Amino acid sequence: MSTNNGLSKFNPTSETFQNYDVNDGLQSNEFSELTALKTKEGKLFFGGVNGFTAFFPEEIISNKIKPETVLTNFSIFNKPVAIGEQINGRVILNKSINFINKIKLKYSENSFSFEFAALHYAASRKNKYAYKLEGFDKDWIYTTSKNRFATYTNLEPGSYVLKIKASNNDNIWDETPIELKIDVTPPWWRTNIAKALYVLLAIALLLAFRRFTIIRSAEKHQLELEHLEKEKHEEIHRLKLEFFTNISH
């Protein structure tokens, strides 16, 4: 079937469409109405704005070759990281990002992006991609050959696994996504040592507060005893005065 956006092959059994456009060799994506012809030999002709497209439908078969997905670039804050380049006093990539299984980033480097590609060139513009950052993304994120990037910003410290897969021009997907482990280290105030120090400091403050409370209670109790003792002496002194006054009268 010809359309205003290429040719479509409909499978009535599975009720699915396979779409073809200029990337597959059509004269144009735009076809004209009532310009289709089937010859006695079974050849199909479709007329369009730039001529016509002719083919034997039985010769149009799906591309079963699966693509190989590769990483082509790695950037931190939109700045590409070169092999051997020192970032914040250390080398992050000692070889191509495509041949690295794990990278370690500081908390100040938690905004980064990856560029990827599919090694499949039959109709590379029709290749599709999907990526997922395990530990952050819940589902796969799908994109096209026009936007071959996976970008993440302000990630929390932790361990992640980036997975990327691609499909060829006939929607045959790579069944073995590439994987890259990413560790984002926390700042010093969020490390395990710092957390242990926070716990110790909290315990010390609680103990100090408890000691302060005990001392204050003891002082308060001592003041109350002294006050009672003073009242007792004053009462005895008053009784003595009354006794001697009565005797003298």
| C-alpha angle 219-221-222 in degrees, rounded to nearest 5 | 60
pLDDT tens for the 249 residues of the chain, in order: 999 899 999 989 988 888 898 888 899 999 998 899 999 999 999 999 999 999 999 988 888 889 999 999 999 999 999 999 999 889 999 999 999 999 999 999 999 999 999 998 888 889 999 999 999 999 999 999 999 999 999 999 999 999 999 999 888 999 899 999 999 999 888 778 888 898 999 999 999 999 999 998 888 888 888 888 888 888 887 787 877 777 876
Residues 6+ apart with CB under 8 A from 60: 9
Q: Show me where the domains of the chain are located.
A: 2-59, 69-188, 191-249
Q: Which fold has domain 69-188?
A: Immunoglobulin-like (2.60.40)
Burial string for 135-164 (b: 16+ CB within 10 Å, else e) reads eeeeeeeeeebeebebebeebeeeebebbb
Instruction: Indicate left, alpha or beta for 44 from its phi (over 0: left) and psi (-120 to 50: alpha).
Output: beta
Distance CA 97, CA 222 (A): 73
